[in-house]
């Protein structure tokens, strides 16, 4: 099976890296970082982009710039990578874990509404796997209660909701450029926003409390050094040039794959809401109906990987199952759907959707074979 490796780089990355090396400005204050911030912000339909060294600190920057701190609560989904909750804990606030919807894998707006309490300061949905959380319900919910709404868009570069890009659907959007993401420099992060005052605060937090255009030795608020380097920015500029074509290719292959597997009993793919008109396809998510099929997701996963298809058997626990949150430091709402997904969900990485049509047919065939072996269909 000719499934491409990831990450992918070409002569273009080398060309831009050579330019950075020759410039002598390898750090975060050069033109490359500014150019990447401008280009990525425009890509995300935003006026401002604030880059940083990874997508965990961009979440921390967003929370700080939104005024979230000790004593506050932030509502997050129980299913995500740990950064979503870790960033809340790092700024001294308390993550409140709420359930996800059964097939979107995203925060359930009803569960979020039920979790709002006097100390709630923000809601931070994740666009899981590239599928946008239900912003039609989350945005009014946040507005009604005067809460900051922050998108954890680490998976959703280029995803769109009713024609609006991830990162522009709330007060701010936070992106990751870590090695597995759909564009990468190994590490990296970006905060996008259309709020100029928020952008200025976030920038100051990222750059030692300085003010944009202010003096090098003048510091106004507590910040840190979270700067992205010019070397990262050079690689990311090249990656961004390639992203739209890669998204088109993944979309074509995802449609093909889902069409070929639409009638397989006991196998359900992530729901794509009608408002979602573009998808990064960071992950191809699904659930096996283990009860109906009488076998486990783990057997399905083994059968699939044995045929050379990369597949991950979901997370080992909801976020609150981490030792970090076993003895407090969080509030946990009932999460039956998240608990069920731990046992029956799986994902294919985006590189599985980057091959040609023939490879996609082969992957569909491998999934069918795994289903027929394991579930005897
Ligand atoms: C949902 C989510 N949020 C945030 C992050 C944090 O990004 P980073 O690894 O760049 O710190 C990641 C992944 O890595 C993620 O999957």
Q: Which of 338, 344, 336, 296 is nearest to 317 (CA)?
A: 338
Q: What is the pLDDT of residues 312-366, one digit of tens each?
A: 999 999 999 999 999 999 999 999 999 999 999 999 999 999 999 999 999 999 9
- Three-state DSSP at 73 gives strand
Point out the ligand 1 atom lying closest to the alpha carbon of residue 56: 11
The pLDDT, as a whole number, for residue 294 is 62
| % of the chain residues with pLDDT over 90 | 93
Please name the residue whose Cα sits nearest to atom 7 of ligand 1.
Answer: 55
The pLDDT, as a whole number, for residue 201 is 97
Q: What angle do CA 113, 172, 56 make, to 5 degrees?
A: 95
CA gap 97, 100 in Å, rounded: 10
Q: What burial class does residue 5 get, using C-beta atoms within 10 Å of its C-beta: 0-12 exposed, 13-18 middle, 19+ buried?
A: exposed
The pLDDT, as a whole number, for residue 131 is 98
- Three-state DSSP at 16 gives helix
DSSP character at residue 377: -
Q: What are phi and psi of 51, to 5 degrees?
A: -85, 160
The pLDDT, as a whole number, for residue 200 is 97
Point out the ligand 1 atom lying closest to the alpha carbon of residue 187: 10
The pLDDT, as a whole number, for residue 293 is 63
Mutate to test the pocket of ligand 1, among 176, 183, 206, 319 (most ligand atoms within 8 A of CB): 176
Q: Which of 192, 156, 200, 185 is nearest to 58 (CA)?
A: 192
User: What is the 128 CA–ligand 1 centroid distance (Å)?
Assistant: 11
The pLDDT, as a whole number, for residue 186 is 98
Which residues have C-beta atoms less than 6 Å from ligand 1?
54-56, 80-81, 83-84, 126, 152, 154-155, 176, 178, 189
The pLDDT, as a whole number, for residue 266 is 86
Contact 93, 76 (CB under 8 A): no
- Three-state DSSP at 109 gives helix
User: What is the 61 CA–ligand 1 centroid distance (Å)?
Assistant: 14
User: What is the 357 CA–ligand 1 centroid distance (Å)?
Assistant: 30
The pLDDT, as a whole number, for residue 117 is 98
For 322-357, b/e burial (b = at least 16 CB within 10 A) is eeebeeeebbbbebebbebbbebbbbbbbbbbbbee
Q: What are phi and psi of 106, to 5 degrees?
A: -110, 160
CA gap 49, 41 in Å, rounded: 5
Contact 138, 123 (CB under 8 A): yes
CA gap 282, 207 in Å, rounded: 30
Mutate to test the pocket of ligand 1, among 152, 154, 226, 349 (most ligand atoms within 8 A of CB): 154
Point out the ligand 1 atom lying closest to the alpha carbon of residue 177: 10
User: What is the 78 CA–ligand 1 centroid distance (Å)?
Assistant: 15
Point out the ligand 1 atom lying closest to the alpha carbon of residue 178: 10
Contact 325, 222 (CB under 8 A): no
* Strand-pair partners of 150: 172
Digits of tens for pLDDT over the chain (377 positions)? 899 999 999 999 999 999 999 999 999 998 999 999 999 999 999 999 999 999 999 999 999 999 999 999 999 999 999 999 999 999 999 999 999 999 999 999 999 999 999 999 999 999 999 999 999 999 999 999 999 999 999 999 999 999 999 999 999 999 999 999 999 999 999 999 999 999 999 999 999 999 988 999 999 999 999 999 999 999 999 999 999 999 999 999 999 999 999 989 889 999 999 999 999 999 999 999 876 666 689 999 999 999 999 999 999 999 999 999 999 999 999 999 999 999 999 999 999 999 999 999 999 999 999 988 887 76
Q: Which residue has the tokens 């946008």?
A: 132
């Amino acid at each position: 099976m000719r499934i491409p490796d990831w990450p992918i780089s070409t002569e273009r990355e080398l060309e831009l890296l050579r330019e950075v090396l020759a410039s002598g400005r390898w750090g975060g204050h050069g033109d490359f970082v500014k150019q990447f911030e401008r280009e990525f912000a425009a890509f995300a339909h935003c006026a401002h982009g604030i880059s940083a060294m990874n997508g965990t600190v961009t979440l921390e920057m967003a929370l700080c710039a939104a005024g979230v701190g000790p004593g506050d609560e932030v509502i997050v989904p129980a299913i995500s990578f740990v950064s979503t909750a870790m960033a809340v804990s790092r700024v001294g606030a308390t993550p409140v874990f709420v359930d996800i919807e059964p097939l979107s894998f995203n925060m359930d707006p009803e569960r979020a509404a039920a979790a709002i309490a006097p100390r709630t300061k923000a809601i931070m949905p994740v666009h899981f796997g590239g599928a946008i959380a239900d912003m039609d319900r989350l945005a009014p919910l946040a507005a009604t209660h005067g809460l900051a709404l922050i998108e954890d868009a680490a998976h959703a570069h280029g995803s769109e909701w009713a024609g609006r890009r991830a990162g522009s659907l709330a007060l701010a959007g936070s992106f990751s450029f870590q090695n597995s993401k759909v564009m990468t420099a190994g590490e990296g992060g970006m905060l996008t926003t259309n709020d100029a005052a928020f952008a200025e605060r976030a920038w100051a937090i990222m750059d030692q409390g300085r003010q944009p255009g202010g003096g090098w030795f003048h510091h106004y608020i507590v910040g840190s050094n979270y700067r992205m380097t010019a070397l990262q920015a050079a690689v990311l500029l090249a990656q961004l040039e390639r992203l739209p074509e890669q998204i088109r290719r993944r979309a074509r292959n995802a449609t093909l794959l889902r069409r070929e597997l639409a009638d397989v009993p006991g196998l359900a793919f992530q729901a794509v809401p009608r408002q979602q008109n573009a998808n990064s396809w960071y992950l191809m998510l699904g659930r096996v109906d283990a009860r109906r099929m009488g076998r486990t997701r783990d057997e399905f996963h083994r059968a699939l990987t044995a045929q050379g298809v990369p597949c991950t058997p979901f997370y080992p626990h909801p976020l609150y199952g981490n030792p970090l949150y076993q003895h407090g430091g969080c509030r946990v709402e009932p999460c039956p759907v998240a608990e069920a997904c731990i046992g029956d969900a799986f994902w294919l990485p985006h590189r599985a959707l980057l091959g040609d049509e023939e490879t996609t047919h082969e992957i569909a065939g491998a999934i069918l074979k795994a289903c027929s072996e394991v579930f005897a269909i």
